[in-house]
Amino acid sequence: MEKKFGSLAKCSTLGLLVVASQMVNAQVAEPVKSETSENKPVTNQVNETPVNTTSSLNSSNVLSNTTSLSQQAFTPSYELSGGRLGTGEAGLMTVPAKGAPIVYGGLYVYLDAGLYAGRNDNVTGSTSNSISSALYSLQPEIIGELKNHGDRYTISYLGDYTRYQDSSADNFNHHDFKVAGDNIFDARTRFGWLVDYVKSTDPRGSTDRALTATPDEWHAPTVAGIFAYGAKDAQGRVEVDGSVQHKRYDNNETATLGSNVNLSTVSARFFYRVAPKTSLLIEGKQIKADYVTDISSNSNTDRRLMVGATWTATAATTGIFKVGYAKKNFDSNLRSDYSGVAWEGQIRWSPLTYSTLDLVTSKIPSDSTGIGDYVVNTNYNATWTHKWTSFMASRVNLGLVKSDYANGGRQDDLHNAGIGLTYDLRRWLRLSAQINRTNRSSNIPGFDFTRNVFIIGVESTL
């Protein structure tokens, strides 16, 4: 089975590129850097990560904390992904492209794929009797792009087809379909929108639900939009955004029925420029989580009010930091409410043009997946990226997630560490290797575990 999958993966990767390049009436243009460059887990380019505080655990690249292969960190969270909301950079909802496009008139098509192999020595995050397995993964992506008088539209598909040689029960296929647009009406007015459909899984052992025979499969359609008013250099700027997401589980109903949820988010923020490259900000956000079955008492309203600043102090330092007050009120009297300090922040220091240090921190309350009334996750993460030559780069990552389960009597410390190397054989062909280690210590016996993951990969664009 695994040999067949490996052969299929190789053929699919090469076929995706060969077939595309031979399309009728198509023309392959020179590679261009997207105006909205944002990293994609595992296959991103070096030194292109934007400041992003939308998700407390987003640290994309070959050592992504959220990459399914590495499984470095997984904590309950319903922070919406897909757009860089809350950073003062509205109008960036479309998918970034890389490599050389295939051109059909005004339509640009970008293709890339990654083929990975490695070993995970604790697939399910078990304290004892852990499952160690070789793994193989194929991750294709296709992006269609249209531009019209400053506006940009994309339609995209990102897949992740992963197989475990010694644990076929944990195999998964992930799919992410997106249609998005960035509309620039004038120098002051911008609007970004996104329609997204994700079909994914929760790896076994990644939640506090009962361990099932296979990963918990789910799908989630999402609609999101962001409106901004104010020129880039204006004294004041305003952003308003909202999203609706319906998450439904497709299997293991006994364990997952209570996790089906409708999420609606609305937020607004005001930026006031106090210096040429520094703005103060105030943000209000509400997240409504409506769990659709009576089995769950998790339905709640999460409101946050934060103040902070965003800055580009020098050519070498950029950042955004917000701190304030969060209050989570549950509809059911069976759960206690949360109120307390919350923060989100990210700083990038680039002492050299070829070396960057990214620091990320956050403290956010999240819904429980089984233990406690809710979970307060405090995250600290540091990532150093260094380009040694024009074709070789490294990345070192250190992270800590402290999880406090309210009224659950449980406290966890999740330590992540990793190192990765990339080597560009050609403009369109990259080799990568990474080693990741995750260690969770808990005050409750049976929740400790250690995981080591080694992955090598081949990544290609047109």
φ, ψ of residue 322 to 5 degrees: the values are: -135, 135
Phi then psi for 126, rounded to 5 degrees?
Answer: -95, 150
What's the confidence (pLDDT) of residue 83? 33
Average pLDDT score over the chain: 83
Closest by CA to 209, choosing from 335, 412, 369, is 369
Contacts of 289 (CB under 8 A, 6+ apart): 78, 261, 262, 263, 298, 299, 300, 301, 302, 367
Cα–Cα distance measured from residue 74 to residue 436, given in angstroms and rounded to the nearest whole number: 14
Amino acid letter for position 152: R
Which three-class secondary structure state does DSSP give residue 121? Answer: coil
Quickly state the pLDDT bin for 330 (edges 50, 70, 90): very high
Amino acid at 401: V
pLDDT at 65: 36
pLDDT given at position 430? 96
Report the amino acid identity of residue 347. I
* pLDDT digits 0-9 by tens, 336-351: 999 999 999 999 999 9
- The 8-class DSSP code of residue 132 comes to -
When pLDDT is cut at 50, 70 and 90, the band that residue 97 belongs to is: confident
Lowest mean pLDDT among 42-46, 180-184, 243-247, 309-313: 42-46
The pLDDT of residue 67 is 42
Judge whether residue 4 has pLDDT over 60. no
Q: Distance between alpha carbon 79 and the CA centroid of its chain, in Å?
A: 10
Where does the pLDDT of residue 446 fall: very low under 50, low under 70, confident under 90, or very high at 90 and above?
Answer: confident
pLDDT in tens, 198-242: 999 988 888 888 889 999 999 999 999 999 999 888 999 999 999
The answer to whether the CB of 136 falls within 8 A of the CB of 165 is yes
Reported as type and span, the H/E element at residue 7 is helix 2-21
- Mean pLDDT for 69-82 is 49
The confidence score (pLDDT) of residue 161 equals 95
pLDDT in tens, 176-197: 999 999 999 998 999 999 999 9
Burial of 242: CB neighbours in 10 Å, binned 0-12, 13-18, 19+: middle
Q: What is the DSSP letter of 199?
A: E
Q: What is the pLDDT of residue 70?
A: 73
CB neighbours of 22 closer than 8 A, spacing ≥ 6?
none
Q: How confident is the model at residue 68 (pLDDT cuts 50, 70, 90)?
A: low
Burial class from Cβ neighbours inside 10 Å (0-12, 13-18, 19+) for residue 364 reads: buried
Per cent of the chain over pLDDT 70 is: 80
Give the span between the Cα atoms of 211 and 252, in whole angstroms. Answer: 10
Q: What is the pLDDT of residue 48?
A: 31
The pLDDT assigned to 308 comes to 96
Q: Which residues contact 4 (CB under 8 A, 6 or more apart)?
A: none
Give the model confidence (pLDDT) of 261-289 as tens digits: 999 999 999 999 999 889 999 999 999 99
Which of 21, 48, 23 is CA-nearest to residue 34?
48
Distance CA 68, CA 172 (A): 10
Tell me what the mean pLDDT of segment 31-59 comes to. 33
Q: What confidence tier does 31 reach under pLDDT thresholds 50, 70, 90?
A: low
* pLDDT recorded at residue 54: 28
Give the lowest-confidence range in 69-83, 125-139, 153-167, 214-228.
69-83
Model confidence at 16: pLDDT above 90: no
pTM, entire model: 0.83
Query: H or E stretch including 2?
Result: helix 2-21
Residue 318 has pLDDT above 80, yes or no: yes
CA angle 288–90–236, rounded 5-degree value? 100
Lowest mean pLDDT among 63-72, 306-315, 367-376, 378-387: 63-72
